[in-house]
Structure 1
Amino acid sequence: MILEKFKFNGKNLEDGPSWGMTDISMGTMRFRWNETNENRNAFLKKLCGSDKFPAAVELIHSKTVYDIESADETIGLQGDGIITRNKNIVPVVTVADCMPIYVFDTKCGTFGTLHSGWKGTGIVGKAVGIIIEEYGSRPEDICVAIGPHIGDCCYNVTEERAHYFIDNFCHDCVSKISEDNYSLSLTKANLAVLIKCGIPEDNIKIMDECTCCHKENGEFKFGSFRRQTLNLPSDMPLEERLTKFTVQAAFVKW
């Protein structure tokens, strides 16, 4: 499991919350409101202990962020981000190639976890906007961490999607490989969002491990939708396909 501190003014912020993500060895953390995942439940019970409570949403690849005061406010909700000032809450989202993003405001104390797939790129701007507008925070007081996700080494997209990112984020987040085949850097796209928001570079931590290809000791470290579903039958129903890869849990915890 990854467990890290935020970076503030270029240094690890030891007195702030920690952010983290499970890995493939811990099993799937798949989450649906109408399902029971005992593996996930056991992990969250151990993570939270007796004094903290997990808050989750069922992901829909959106830019929807919930600002909550108690963990039960998200029960039954769909969305892709949770922020809170309540230190007894552990905001949790699931990821498997999509980007986990973590935020923490050093002044007002708001913290949270976001799921940012290609459709949801820009959700971190939405979360930062809420923190600034609702709590009077300043961009220079906000820390952001980008967790492991599929890298441009493995993320090939069509020309249409490449131009979407060029038009909406930045030109250098895509590179042409061949006709109608481009590589996409979700890191560069999200950095463009953070720069636009005014977040200082010294307040941003980036984990550059690719969930699709990164190995440790010869074994894949992370679950990956792209890698683990690559050789499945093309006629397999989507709902069944979505059960065939290892989902990670991404969280922030005091």
Structure 2
Amino acid sequence: MNFLTGHFFYNGKPLASAPLWGMSVLKSGNMRFRWNETNPVREKFFSSICAEKRKALQPELIHSKTVYEVSSADEIFQKKGDGILTSNKFIVPAVTVADCMPVFVYDKNSNVFGVLHSGWKGTGIAAEAFYMLNKKYGSNPDDLCFVLGPHINSCCYSIDKKRAEYFSENFGSSCVSSIDGNKYSLSLTDANLYLLRKIGIPDGNIFVSKECTCCFKENGAFKYGSFRRQTSSLPQDLPLEEKQKHFTVQAAFVFYSF
């Protein structure tokens, strides 16, 4: 299988009737998505997952906290943002990640499901999704299930003092730790757990992947594409658009297994 998949959890137990979350891996190929581009690798990947009537939908990512709630495919066309939610079982909500955290969401009461792209700029998007679900569907924290998917862990994620102060002030001091006084390590897991617990999501409804996209290996080979790992040898002043040609983007998605 060229992607990993898993369950949502409720009260510490996997939900058999819920959709599944999934994520491509390094050997799946580059899942880059832009509205003005075609990507045959991505199209082939999703054609193997989506049944005849299902369609993978994604906004073009902009590292924001913008979340869309849609019921049909045309509602997301040409939209830019970092999250997508739906109650339509024939939609496969998707985002792309390459060290940033995919956050998978399922509401046990309304059966709304989706996925969010949560990088350092977008940390807090899980709260935006909750507020949207609460306003439109009356979703309660006890009914919501979250999966914090594979992402760059604190072992490989160093940040400067200014960013460390930002995270400590907004997402709890436990998500950062000093390395040498000028550099700090950042735990996106702890930052998001702080946020979800503040909302009131029970721990038993949260599953956390322990695999680091930057350094985790399986059978001696890197399992995931990683922006930091794959671009570390490139010139620091190389434009981001050029760097994007040198790392492998993963697709993160939620789907019903019919």
Could you state the TM-score of these two structures normalised by the residue count of structure 1? 0.99
1:55–1:72 Cα contact (<8 Å) kept:
no
1:87-126 mapped onto 2 (5 Å cutoff):
87-126=89-128
The alignment partner of 2:49 has SS state of: helix
| 1:81 corresponding residue in structure 2 | 83
1:84–1:111 Cα contact (<8 Å) kept:
yes
The alignment partner of 1:128 has SS state of: helix
Find 2:56's aligned residue among 36, 54, 57. Answer: 54
Find 1:28's aligned residue among 20, 30, 46. Answer: 30
Residue by residue, what CA displacement relative to the aligned partner does 1:194-250 show, whole Å, maximum 9, x if unpaired? 011110000000101000000011100000000000001234322111111000000
1:189-200 mapped onto 2 (5 Å cutoff):
189-200=191-202
Sequence identity percentage:
55
Gaps of 5+ in 2: none
- How many residue pairs get aligned? The number is 254
| 1:44 corresponding residue in structure 2 | 46
Cα drift, residue 54 of structure 1? 1.1
Distance across 2 between alignment mates of 1:26 and 1:143: 27
| 1:175 corresponding residue in structure 2 | 177
Distance across 2 between alignment mates of 1:233 and 1:106: 47
Residue by residue, what CA displacement relative to the aligned partner does 1:66-102 show, whole Å, maximum 9, x if unpaired? 0101122111111000001111100010000000000
Find 1:13's aligned residue among 9, 12, 15. Answer: 15
Q: Alignment RMSD, CA only?
A: 0.7
| Structure 2 residue 243 is matched with structure 1 residue 241 | yes
Q: 1:235 to 1:138 in 2, by over 3 A?
A: closer
Find 1:204's aligned residue among 203, 206, 210. Answer: 206
| 2:4 corresponding residue in structure 1 | 2
| 1:146 corresponding residue in structure 2 | 148
Distance across 2 between alignment mates of 1:71 and 1:202: 33
Could you state the TM-score of these two structures normalised by the residue count of structure 2? 0.97
| 1:135 corresponding residue in structure 2 | 137
Which amino acid letter does the alignment assign opposite residue 74 of structure 2? Answer: D
Distance across 2 between alignment mates of 1:233 and 1:182: 22
Distance across 1 between alignment mates of 2:107 and 2:239: 42
Cα drift, residue 47 of structure 1? 1.1
Find 1:188's aligned residue among 175, 187, 190. Answer: 190
Which amino acid letter does the alignment assign opposite residue 25 of structure 2? Answer: D
Distance across 1 between alignment mates of 2:97 and 2:161: 25
Gaps of 5+ in 1: none
Which amino acid letter does the alignment assign opposite residue 206 of structure 1? Answer: V
The alignment partner of 1:194 has SS state of: helix
